[in-house]
Amino acid sequence: MRSTATVSATSPTTVRIAEQDVVISPSSTSPPGRNIRM
């Protein structure tokens, strides 16, 4: 259970980073992406 708790805490952090990377890619290609970022 301790291992699961550690993974759960790390999962949301990794997901957030992954979303940021995905958002940055379209932002560079699409100008409206900057508005979504703000």
pTM: 0.18
Q: How far is CA 26 from the centre of its chain?
A: 13
List per-residue pLDDT tens for the chain, 38 residues long.
455 555 555 555 555 655 655 555 555 555 555 555 54
Our measurement of the distance from residue 33's CA atom to the centroid of its chain's CA atoms, rounded to an integer in Å, reads 15
Structure tokens given for 10: 């790390």
Give, in degrees to the nearest 5, the angle at Cα 8 between 36 and 10.
Answer: 60
What are the residue boundaries of the structural domains of the chain, listed by start? Answer: 2-37
